[in-house]
Structure 1
Amino acid sequence: MMTTATPAASADQDRKSPGRPRSARVEEAIIESILDMLAEGTPFDGLSVEAVAARAGVGKATIYRRWPNKEALLYDAVARVKGEPAQTTGTSVREDILALLVPVGRPETTRAGQIMPCLYVEMQRSPELREVYRRITEPRRESMRAVLNRGIAEGTLRPGLDIDTILAMLFGPLIARSLVNWDPAISREDAARRLVDAIWPAIAVDPHAESA
């Protein structure tokens, strides 16, 4: 009797077919499988290499040929869903701050909006996952530090600002919204701009220097 392979199962077959090279198709199937599991709320402990391999329709050896361990695989998966760091224009400190914040407040209908709240919860139980997340997000924090320091140097922001506290003030509320949606009266699409509007007078040398 003839059987038909599912898309996931066919990812690890050796036969060549038109389109994307086989190795890229296999890696995408693996990454997509782990992202699907995260979106479904699978706990970190449940994201074993065996479980991911079964979901992707590949063997464990296929995964280990590409990633040395589960943490490396998870890093690539989370980096995929986080996307590339936001780009700044360098023309306005205020707008550059906003550009870096908007991706943090993605609507929950996006894939990142569905997966990141699950990861935040799991990070409370997993030091490994916290380290993965730190490695991915630190470049974004450094970008914000650079913008804030630039604002101080050019005289747009007040000298002597506690940069780490400002970072917490900017990122913290948006992460909190992702976790518990604590203020549904403020839309996710508008949350970042309203947050910057509220904080700007406290950090700017002249609150009216860069109006929204």
Structure 2
Amino acid sequence: MSQHTDTGVPAPAADCPGGARRGRPRSEAAEQAIFDAAIGLLESGLALADVSIEKIARTAGVGKATIYRRWPGKEELFVDLLRSVEPPDPVLPGTSLRDDFVALLETMRQRGLAKRTSALLHNVFSQMQLYPRLWDAYHNTVIEPRRRMGLDAIRRGIERGEIRADLDVEMVNDLFVGPLLLRSVIRPGATLEPGLPEEIVDTVMDGLRPRV
């Protein structure tokens, strides 16, 4: 692995695209070295509690300041690391409630498959809920935005008259995402076959359409 060292801090950018942390443009090479180091430490058998910023910096060949300029702590670093190896969040088509939730559930299906085939994801997720700060950071920056995406899609569907207006939006979201969560978390051996998102959405939609 190539070594990376600090060469000084450039002047902060006033408006840096992508919201660079701590006022410094992000170095993709340094960030990838940090991610690679964290992954290597986890794959070597270290528990999350034993993977420190100091160990990551030493393995990556960077100073600790390089890491802290990008992340305020280990929890935030690991959240970004998980996001980097997961499928990206979908861009919803916005054409119908059905289309939006098929896209959302397909992303969930792909994440479920990734967790089954990635030793890193399986390792981290099996430990993550033991560390409340890490779980809270992941929930607030990853899970909660996806949930809001689903709730907004449901509200648009109600406005368009696709489903009944008397329905509880949170409950409807649970009905859509519940089957995939069940198969990927509670029943990790259950199938996640192609076409499952369409099957779930069509089944749920049958019970939500306006009554004649």
- TM-score, normalised with respect to structure 2: 0.73
Counterparts of 1:95-134 in structure 2, within 5 Å, are 95-106=99-110, 110=114, 114=118, 115-134=120-139
Aligned length: 192
Shift in Å, 1:74: 1.9
Shift in Å, 1:95: 0.9
Q: 1:108/1:141 Cα in 2 relative to 1: closer, same or farther (>3 Å)? A: closer
Q: 1:76/1:104 Cα in 2 relative to 1: closer, same or farther (>3 Å)? A: same
SS at match of 1:10: coil
Query: Hey, what does 1:17 align to over in structure 2?
Result: none
Q: Does residue 201 in structure 1 map to residue 206 in structure 2?
A: yes
SS at match of 1:89: coil
Matches of 2:50 and 2:176, distance apart in 1: 32
Shift in Å, 1:133: 1.6
Deviates more, 1:171-180 or 1:125-134: 171-180
Deviates more, 1:142-151 or 1:123-132: 123-132
Shift in Å, 1:167: 2.2
Shift in Å, 1:182: 3.5
**Which of residues 172, 189, 193 in structure 2 aligns to 1:182?**
189
Query: Hey, what does 2:149 align to over in structure 1?
Result: 143
Shift in Å, 1:94: 0.2
User: Are the counterparts in 2 of residues 11 and 58 from structure 1 also a CA contact under 8 Å?
Assistant: yes
Q: Does residue 46 in structure 1 map to residue 50 in structure 2?
A: yes
Matches of 1:132 and 1:161, distance apart in 2: 31
Shift in Å, 1:40: 7.3
Instruction: Tell which has more relative contact order, 1 or 2 (C-alpha 8 A, sep 6+).
Output: 1
Shift in Å, 1:131: 1.2
Identity of aligned residues (%): 31
Query: Hey, what does 2:159 align to over in structure 1?
Result: 153
Deviates more, 1:160-169 or 1:173-182: 173-182
Deviates more, 1:60-69 or 1:130-139: 60-69
Query: Hey, what does 1:171 align to over in structure 2?
Result: 177
**Which of residues 22, 27, 33 in structure 2 aligns to 1:29?**
33
Matches of 1:197 and 1:52, distance apart in 2: 46
Q: 1:70/1:198 Cα in 2 relative to 1: closer, same or farther (>3 Å)? A: same
Return structure 1 stretches of 4+ with deviation > 6 angstroms.
none
TM-align CA RMSD: 3.2
- TM-score, normalised with respect to structure 1: 0.73
Shift in Å, 1:125: 1.3
Shift in Å, 1:110: 3.9
